[in-house]
Structure formats: structure tokens, C-alpha cells
Homo-oligomer: A and B are copies of this chain.
Amino acid sequence: MIKTIEYQGGLARMIDQTRLPREKVFVDCRTIEEVGRAIQDLVIRGAPAIGVAAAIGVSLGANAIEANTFEAFYARLEHQCDALAKARPTAANLAWGIERMKRTARKHRHLPVAEIKERLRQEALAVVEEDIQINRKIGGHGQALLKEESVVLTHCNAGALATAGYGTALGVVRAAVEAGKRVNVLANETRPFFQGSRLTVWELMEDGIPVKLITDGMSGYFMMKQQVDAVVVGADRIAANGDVANKIGTYMVAALAHRHGIPFYVAAPVSTLDLTIASGEAIPIEEREGEEVVNVAGQSIAPEGTVAAYPAFDITPHALVTAIITENGIARPPFDESLKRLTETG
């Protein structure tokens, strides 16, 4: 099983996703700042994995704080957390991971600082472990939605590499395969970072699950040819009304699936829900450097001086979403009711 991120002794060990599939190398982060940089530079990406990295990062940050009182300790911890929270603005799980760790610190405020650090370490380890369990539950719920023989189209990578392991959207695929279903995956390459070709294809091939690579603009073609049975994607943040922020390009896939009557499923842990936000309009969309669009595999594919835009995410309106698959069950429209219920069952 692919271990995207582990908390080993005093460090966070991550597969360097900028270098896959060419080479499988690991990056060790020893400080919260290094974790923040790894998130920013896409060494680790995928909303759930970012949440896990955040939890480990906060534990590493806590360990480095020298303080005698809880107040002094917590003030410095909050300061570190504020910086980490800025690494990437869109994924809800970053704030979720940080908040969970801060809550743990506050819960144990009566303990000596050394003991609080130990509780934070245990909490981070629990977050890693839980994430895999959550994905298995998502997979269990989601696989029931797929037919015995299914072609599943996915965008970006919401797989083992986007989580501590197993994956959300690809967790649904894995669980279906484990249940004996014959699933073929159509993987959108997902420009500009090629998460589809570099990561989704890689991890499915590792698991022996049949996958065909296509460019993002081909998904409409295969839907028109009636060669797609379902779309399953992950999410970076889900608003209270069911609007979904996910990798740029997702909206086009959702709109085309809707046009063709193909179910569009979003697989994500409850930690991706942000019920404090009424609709997708309020979700901050990260703008990355246009250079990342222009430079492909270390080479420029456009003339010198090209101006390029790179909004990293888009919003899929809830009207295009067939169902949202979480570890607590499946939410269907109207999402403002069903999502609320799912968080309460948690």
C-alpha cells in the first residue's frame, strides 16, 4: 500500500509528488515551516493529505516550542498555525487539521507542556490512522453506487496520494474492485500539474486497476460516445449548499456529465465540509503563478513573455452534483439538509 505521508519520530516523511512517476523519492520535514513549504510547493497535495500533513506539522511545531506555561506555549503554537494556514487557501482540510490540533492542546491545558506535546503527537498519529479508515468507509459507501461493470471517469488525483492512503474517489474505485466489480478508469491528465497522468495513472497501475489516460478536453468526447458510466472526483472544500471546490477543470466535467445524464459523485471526508460557508461563491480560489502553466516538464511550451492565468480550483454548483459520498454515508440533494445531517451522525 502506498504511504503518502508518515509521522516517524521527529519528522514527516512524504513521497515527493512533484517527482512522480519519474522517481519515487521521499522528503523529510522536521519543522512546521518545512511542512508548510512542502504543501505550498505541491510535494504533498490533495485535501485530505494536506489535512494530515497539517496535523503532523503542528505536532512538529509544538515540539520546537520552549515554554513553561500553557499560555506561553499556546500563544506560540497559534502563531505557527496562522502561518501554516496560509500555505494553500482553498482546501478546507488544512484549517480542519490545524483546528483539531489546537483543540487538543486546549483540552489538555492543565497538563505540563511536555505532556501536551506528547498528546499532540498522539493526535497527529491518530489523524493519519483515521484518514485511511475514513477512506475505506467512503469506499464502502461509494462502491455500492457503481454498476458491476463500470467505466469511471476521474479528474485530478483523489487517490492514495491525495490522502494518508487508499484515497477518496479512487477509494471508491478500489472498494468496487475489492467487491468484485469490473471497473475501468478514464483518467483526465489534469493540466497544468498533470496529477492525472503522473499520479492517478501511476497508483492505479501499481494496483493493477485498468486505466486509460486522456486529456481534459477529451472527457466530453467519451461521454458523447456513451463510454462513461459515472464520474467520481474528490473535493477541496464543500459549502453548506453542496457547491464543491475541486481542481480546476472539474466544473467542465460536471457540466458535461449533467448534459449527458451521467451521475457525478464527489467523494470526500466530512473534514472537507465547510458548513460555515453558505455557497461556493465564498470559497477562496488559490491563484498560482502563470509560469506553472507555461513550463511543462522543465520546458516552456509558449513564447517568452506569455501571460498565463492559473486559478487552481473551480466551483461545481450543487445542481450538477448527484451525491456526496462521506465516511458517514451518502448525501443527496437538497444538500443543505443532507450534509448537515451527515455531520451530526459523525
Give the residue name and chain of the B residue nearest to A225 (CB).
B311
Give the residue name and chain of the B residue nearest to A315 (CB).
B224
Q: Which of A27-35, A110-118, A214-222 contacts B (4 or more CB under 8 A)?
A: A214-222
Once the chains bind, are B217 and A303 in contact (CB under 8 Å)? no
Within 8 A of B (CB), among A182-241: 188-192, 194, 197-198, 201-202, 205, 211-222, 224
Asked whether any CB of chain B lies closer than 8 Å to the CB of A25, the reply is no
Within 8 A of B (CB), among A296-331: 296-299, 301-303, 305-311, 314-315
Once the chains bind, are B218 and A248 in contact (CB under 8 Å)? yes
Asked whether any CB of chain B lies closer than 8 Å to the CB of A290, the reply is yes
Q: Which of A2-10, A48-56, A70-78, A250-258 contacts B (4 or more CB under 8 A)?
A: A250-258
| From B202, B214, B248, B303, contact of A293 by CB (8 A) | B214
Instruction: Report the bound CA distance from A228 to B219 in whole Å.
Output: 22
Asked whether any CB of chain B lies closer than 8 Å to the CB of A294, the reply is yes
Asked whether any CB of chain B lies closer than 8 Å to the CB of A61, the reply is no
Q: Give the chain B neighbours of A309 by CB distance below 8 A.
A: 212-214, 218, 222
Asked whether any CB of chain B lies closer than 8 Å to the CB of A21, the reply is yes
Q: Give the chain B neighbours of A97 by CB distance below 8 A.
A: none
Once the chains bind, are B297 and A220 in contact (CB under 8 Å)? no
Instruction: Report the bound CA distance from A305 to B213 in whole Å.
Output: 11
Asked whether any CB of chain B lies closer than 8 Å to the CB of A259, the reply is yes
Once the chains bind, are A191 and B215 in contact (CB under 8 Å)? yes
Once the chains bind, are B294 and A301 in contact (CB under 8 Å)? no
CB distance from A288 to the nearest CB of B (A): 12
Q: Give the chain B neighbours of A242 by CB distance below 8 A.
A: none
Q: Give the chain B neighbours of A214 by CB distance below 8 A.
A: 293, 308-309
- Whether A213 contacts B294 in the complex (CB less than 8 A), given A21-B303, A259-B255, comes out as yes
Once the chains bind, are A201 and B302 in contact (CB under 8 Å)? yes
Q: Give the chain B neighbours of A248 by CB distance below 8 A.
A: 215, 217-218, 221
- Whether A218 contacts B311 in the complex (CB less than 8 A), given A189-B293, A251-B224, A256-B252, comes out as yes
Give the residue name and chain of the B residue nearest to A308 (CB).
B213
- Whether A221 contacts B314 in the complex (CB less than 8 A), given A307-B212, A309-B212, comes out as yes
Give the residue name and chain of the B residue nearest to A250 (CB).
B217
Asked whether any CB of chain B lies closer than 8 Å to the CB of A46, the reply is no
Instruction: Report the bound CA distance from A18 to B248 in whole Å.
Output: 28
Asked whether any CB of chain B lies closer than 8 Å to the CB of A249, the reply is yes
Instruction: Report the bound CA distance from A48 to B305 in whole Å.
Output: 29
CB distance from A76 to the nearest CB of B (A): 39
Once the chains bind, are A296 and B297 in contact (CB under 8 Å)? yes
Once the chains bind, are B221 and A251 in contact (CB under 8 Å)? yes
Instruction: Report the bound CA distance from A218 to B212 in whole Å.
Output: 22
- Whether A198 contacts B302 in the complex (CB less than 8 A), given A248-B218, A252-B217, comes out as yes
| From B189, B212, B251, B252, contact of A191 by CB (8 A) | B189
Instruction: Report the bound CA distance from A296 to B191 in whole Å.
Output: 12
Once the chains bind, are B301 and A189 in contact (CB under 8 Å)? yes
Listed A/B pairs (22) with beta-carbon separation below 8 Å = A155-B217, A191-B191, A191-B215, A197-B294, A197-B301, A197-B302, A205-B306, A211-B307, A213-B290, A213-B294, A213-B309, A214-B293, A215-B248, A215-B249, A216-B217, A217-B250, A220-B314, A221-B314, A296-B296, A297-B298, A297-B299, A299-B299
